[in-house]
Structure 1
């Protein structure tokens, strides 16, 4: 049975009381039309959700009641009235909104089925094709809402309903002044993430009934491919781009088009070969050239725009200076100046943007200082092959800090030349790994003696920030505070392992390491 009315807690409704005074009863008829048949649940704002019958049209309806009515119910009623103006197969139809002062209620379409939250709770994460189909339906519904100039404001696994006939519908709009079309679109990323992983990546007001995403030390959710196998890379990219506020969110119609393309590909068994993501805004361009929604592309376009603006300013100034000199008879110096010292300098220096540093197998090696047996050396290349499914698999230990006077193990990276660094991202199979970033001036050699010297000679960049840190998710970011310094030899050093519940002991896999610099 559907949980109509479920959704995120909002700042306005989160503390709403559960209706007691004026509570309805089975068989009661509201507004001389809507007969209450069964109390279904109380939603996240404390409102009662009932299954009822429209005695005039003889159809099932959902009735959401709130106590009290009046001014405190204005937002709920206004949202219902706004939603009633949009008719779409992926939106729950809103039939009526009534304020009796003592209580207020909204009458809506009844959907036989269950919410996405309950579906995932019962069956676990969905396969990629089904996750795409659900997200496509939600995005299509948002496109219809946004076309009217309104926003939904409550895209959530509890308000995404899966009907018994397979139809996906979005319910319970709660838009207020703080909501936006962009927030709706990014919430579709949350729907994809939840469908693929069973975890919710967005923060909520109040206590959420959804499992929180695994997060790194900066609070960023782990990518779906880090949590489960079988998620296509392009779907992983799309999901994380929608969640990443550094990446411009597409309009809802562009997102619908992209998800529709992926949805069609999955039906034609071409799911793995759909190619790069491409967002085309609202059909405004006739070009079919793919456009990748990624930070480096957006930043590159932004840089070109800035360069064009600066060039235009210089051109205008040059024209004005030439005209001014001609009118006043002022001479121009050999270097193009006018001899005046108060001319403003329009040149602006942009902060450099960190870029990924390509790493290859010959640039990395494993450091296993004595009494280590150096059996893992062949697995270093698996940490830079771009595949999250392959990994450097550390051996099992009986204690988290390795034991036998072994200080830990590391991955040494030779960049080939001194480079300025921004951060190092380490992807592991489990959270709870204690690690830090260390640097040196040379590699003493790929041997047991060389590994011992590395441990003695390399210094930690984390000492100034409180020493090594423990990862809180499967992605751990090691930041480099001073980007003016340059390093050729960098080592990610693991000094404490997490407990692995699969087999008694302490162990972790290092799936991938990524460096970013200038």
Structure 2
């Protein structure tokens, strides 16, 4: 296996980004470049031909930043390649499968299946997607939902990454997960795809460096904006009300903040039937007996990432499902059935339009925030009138404790709960010292609980203490009204059920703060992990149910 350094197409030895041109060869001559397809954030997208197997592939070149040191560039490249390879091991129907990862002394290459069809820019400009925008987005939303459930990012930040199959499905054809990727950006990216499919215009800023790379098709024009800088509502371009509303609310995060919510709401924003057939692409098994990609003298001489036989079988099964066209239909049917039976959006028994549901959600949240503000201005003590649940410790006199430092915050739910513990990346907002930055749940059709209509029994914020301690007081703030919660402790950062936790207090917060006093003598041992377990959300059947948490403050007695 060669480890020789160099740069393709005549680049200098010190050049971080080799010169690429149609007809050029990379990876020791294995791939012949065909056409550029854009890029950004240190990535460049190319169509290429596999000279050995005679097939088209998608190449994502990972270039170290010019300011990176040699060691820093290697670390950045490794992070991108590792994150993208991890993403490829999930069953993700809306993301092109990664065939190989090439690690070079200067940068790297991600080799992915080629997605036949058109660039997203070309399809959107021709308004090919306008009538089926929701349908086009489903595989991509499904993939993002699956990835986020496994704590993975998809890295959806640019229209350059997307291609549209002959069946009208938007596919992430050039996968590349950079260190800057986030679940919030993925969700906004889904909103941007839905927006652009309806209008032919892109509503988000392109990633840095996009103007420095070539594209074969022209890029989509920027979306026009209102006086406040908000992209113009797609309804003004004739888009269906439900789809336009979903796009706008996903872009601004006002009532849609997770990929799983986008996926479930798509059922209310467009046709529910899947395309008759799905995309066909080379299978991973086609490459199983290929020789090493590191032969030759290019800078991309590498260590090839080979999959184990078991992983290859999983990958082959994944591709076969896609080629058979059963995957998209099966997943869609399961999602619709689960949502209908368990209470998530998409399976409503009434005929309330999606736009009306989202309007009601946002109005409920706005009213809650206004009520909290009025209460603060009038000097009312909302917490004194809250319906605090009878807790085994909440009535105990508070022993004075010191403020406890939190080292990490994330979301948690029992392993048997439906869906995923959403918006974990926002959990740090509850410990940043500012009630203006919040963590929030998704919006649910039904209230939390254990009844047949409840989607899940609750949702938790898991806080890791820098030092184990016995709690004396927990204060929770929220702009929403009637949010009920329990304070629980755990002996591990990943309890599997509520039985693995200990209830030490409970309360209700209504548009302000709620402090729960805890008798430290009632705690069997010092706690390292504290869970704010939300058991009741704010809202109503008409508006939907959700909760925002501004801050969680912990006081206690650190272990001696």
TM-score (norm. length: structure 2): 0.44
User: Which structure is richer in relative contact order (CA contacts within 8 A, separation 6 or more)?
Assistant: 2
Which structure would you say has the larger Rg?
1
TM-score (norm. length: structure 1): 0.47
